[in-house]
Amino acid sequence: YIRQERYTGACSRSFYVGTDLQPKDVNAKFTDGILELTFPKEAPKKEPDVTRVEIGE
């Protein structure tokens, strides 16, 4: 005899994604019990080019 408890009903979850993301940029899909969220990835920040200048005395 195996007894399993299962929760049924509404569920909600929230998380912080930053200030640059707008609600219109987020896409959600719920298929076969799996919620898939898709949103744009932030482009990597490029380090500024460094120019060295020698100062002779």
Does the pTM of the predicted model rise above 0.85? Answer: no
Answer whether residue 29 is part of any domain.
Answer: yes
Domain that holds residue 20: 11-39
Confidence of residue 1 (pLDDT cuts 50, 70, 90): low
* Residue 45 within any structural domain of the chain: no
Q: Is 49 a member of any domain? A: no
Q: Please indicate, yes or no, if residue 1 is contained in any of the structural domains.
A: no
| pLDDT tens digits for range 2-54 | 777 777 788 788 878 778 888 888 899 989 888 898 988 877 788 888 888 88
pLDDT of res. 48 = 83
Q: Is residue 22 part of a domain?
A: yes
53 within domain boundaries: no
Burial readout 8-22 (b: 16 or more C-beta within 10 A, e: otherwise): eeeeeeeeeeeeeee
| pLDDT value of position 29 | 92
Q: Give the pLDDT confidence score for residue 5 in this predicted structure.
A: 74
The tally of domains found in the chain comes to 1
CA–CA dist 45, 22 (Å, integer): 20
Assigned domain for 55 exists: no
